[in-house]
Amino acid sequence: MTLFKDNKARESGFTIIELLVVLMIAAILFSLSTINLGKAQTGASLSSTTNTLLADLKNQQILSMSGDIGSNTTAQQHGIYLTSNNYTLFAGSSYSSSDPNNYTEVTNNVAISTTFPSSTVIFNKGDGSVASFSSTNNTITLSENGDSQTITINRFGATSVN
């Protein structure tokens, strides 16, 4: 009868191999979830910057359409000047870096490239159409860590994102 009790005692519990297999599976799942969470942050940053730029484009167009005078006494055009890591909101028919009324938005790790002439999008006063529009030079591309989003602007100032 004592022999039977010893066999029962040996059968209870997990072997070291079973424990190692479970720990390896847990480690693999943890590493995969960590990698996926990092990608979500990158995508969120690019998406957030794209949405902010779209809102700023629309705001500049609305200011042009409503006849905002900015620092002038008459209605004027409004636009956005784009560089590789920021963009500047301005009033007037051209961008002037010395204008104290300009507002610059830094895009952190998101890179900006554009096909617009002089890296500038200007909206006409009154109707909000794009000044000097060209159907071949009408995109803004934002990219971060291999992901990118392209904003296309038509001659009326309507935007689409791809």
φ, ψ at 62 (rounded to 5°): -65, -40
CATH number for the domain including 36? 3.55.40
Beta bridge mates, 91: 78
Confidence of residue 73 (pLDDT cuts 50, 70, 90): confident
**pLDDT reported for residue 75:** 82
Q: Minimum mean pLDDT among 15-24, 51-60, 68-77: which range?
A: 68-77
Domain count, the chain: 1
Confidence of residue 52 (pLDDT cuts 50, 70, 90): very high
For the chain, give the percent of residues with pLDDT over 70: 86
State yes or no: pLDDT of 36 exceeds 70: no
Residue 135 lies in a domain: yes
Residue 110 lies in a domain: yes
| Domain, as residue range, for 81 | 15-161
Determine if the pTM surpasses 0.85. no
Residue 23 lies in a domain: yes
**112-147 per-position pLDDT tens digit:** 999 999 999 999 998 999 999 998 999 999 999 888
State yes or no: pLDDT of 22 exceeds 60: yes
Residue 10 lies in a domain: no
Residue 132 lies in a domain: yes
**pLDDT reported for residue 9:** 55
